[in-house]
Amino acid sequence: MNPIYENKTQKDIVAEGRTRYLTHSDNIMMVIFTFEDGPATQPDAPHQHPHEQISYVAEGKVRFFIADEPFDLEKGDMIVVPPNTDHTVQTLSAYVRLVDTFHPLRDDFLE
């Protein structure tokens, strides 16, 4: 495996003020999401996927909604998102960086 260097990696633009980059093995994926458009007045639209997800807050403050239940997290906190469960986020600070892991791989992120 080759290392992924942030300053040498082309980041995907998810939306204005939001980027991601990632790496993966055959079985697990790690994605770094950066939000520079906060704080948000409303949460993003909920979504779900069949993947297991664990999120780590590397920077900032964010409100996770899992099946409509809110969880306020800040730097150093983690949360598990079960498969096939509605979830979303609302940034609570100007800058948020999340480290998300997924199993199996998110093929939609590889396209």
- Answer whether the bond into residue 83 is a cis peptide, omega within 30°: no
User: 3-state class of 82 per DSSP?
Assistant: coil
0.75 exceeded by the pTM?
Answer: yes
> Mean pLDDT by 10-residue block, N- to C-terminus, for the chain (111 residues)?
88 97 96 98 97 98 97 98 98 98 96 82
Nearest-angstrom CA–CA distance, 3 and 89: 29
Q: Where are the domains of the chain?
A: 12-44+53-110
Nearest-angstrom CA–CA distance, 8 and 61: 27
Nearest-angstrom CA–CA distance, 63 and 70: 6
Is 71:63 a contact under the CB 8 Å cutoff? yes
Pick the CATH number of 12-44+53-110 from 2.60.40.2230, 1.10.150.120, 2.60.120.10, 3.30.460.80: 2.60.120.10
pLDDT of residue 1: 59
pLDDT of residue 2: 82
